[in-house]
Chains A and B, each alone.
Chain A
Amino acid sequence: MESVAVLAERARRCRAAIIAMGASEHGAHVGGSLSCADILTVLYSRVLNVRPDEPSWPGRDWFVLSKGHASAALYAVLSESGFFSPAECLTYGKNGSRLAGHPLSSLPGVDFPTGSLGHGLSLGVGVALAAKRSGGSNRVFVLLGDGELQEGSNWEAIMSAAQFDLDNLVAVVDRNGWQITGRTEERMRLEPLADRWRAFGWGCVEVDGHDLAELCAAFQALPISTGQPSVVIARTVKGSGVPIFEDRKKSHYVTLTDRLYRRAMAGLNGDRR
């Protein structure tokens, strides 16, 4: 098994790729991509049973990026994992590319196009239900934004997953505390978030979403409760890893200039000026 240090270096490379996509012509959802970079790195390195050279392998675990606007993070991690070449990340947002602002299912490793918030969990419920009913061992992981939970469709899905005892379904909430115009709690309160999930019948654990060892431990202890779906609420920092973006509303969507790109990369590599 790869060491946490190896994962940390992989996560750093993913962040560099995210920053590079943010420096492309059209920019990217940099803040919310950086906040889930560690989660995705751990999932694809240690947790998901997938075959990059056979993306549709029937025995696979499924991953749904419900917060589709974090596509840059997904592209970075998928390319790191071998689903396609890291060089293809350079085509992000360019005419004719497979790498859109929200993921397209033409890209290897993407099962569902996402981007309209509040869809991913229902899709995950369907896949998990199919696996349960057919005796498959597949697990399904759905990464949700925290602001995304304001979409009511999530709560339909949350209710149904508990009703159907889907302990092969795992929701991960990237709890960075921000949405486009401000703090989630100032826009539409989500707290007490863990209590809400528990009240809906889910096993729930809260972790530091940037502590790779803690993330690994949480994902290795699934399901949290037998017979119940699991939710990992990952407390994260928007723009994590890049000081000029950390916990800043403005990091939501950024088109980095050359100067900003250099500052961001310097910050990523330890220069906190």
Chain B
Amino acid sequence: MAALRLNLNGKEISSELSKLTRADIYGDSKTRVLGPNDEVLTKAGVSENGRDYLTRGDFKHALAIGEEFTLKPTQVVNALDGRPVEQVPSSFAVAPKFEPASADEVAQLEVDVVYRLNDAQLEAGSRFIGTFNYRAGYEKKDAVIIGKAEGAFLLVGTLKKASFVGMDVDSQLIAAEPAEEETGDGDFGSL
């Protein structure tokens, strides 16, 4: 993997990243489904006609507008004004800038991915906040860098800022709550 260049409060550092998962720290668990004679079984979806058993790879996703499928090129636009959005370059191409941050700011990050900065030497307890995009994309991802006795870590996710709530709570707050994603029967994600 290419080394990542970072600008930490005006000081440029360079380090290789290694992804750190929950399984690396606590271990992991996986489920197996066994049939008669301990044969490993494969999960499949039953199509609406009841005849086809669909496994991973049997289906693709196509774009449709209403009932009509389309092969027209797509465009990514701003959700509010509809203007085309420029791509955010990968942080490996453009060195991201990080500024010192308070513990309160850092605690607002809902973390998706954790990387260890293998070659970075940071003071234990130091905290920086900025953005980091592993790949080029259309939205910047929030990130913090934390210095610990065990090394330096890059945490990537989304900053979640809660708003203050009064007695007359805006019912839109609760109405806008999206359903939690579930993967169960009848869902392609479960295959």
Say whether A and B bind each other: no
Question: Which B residues form the contact surface with A (CB < 8 A)?
Answer: none
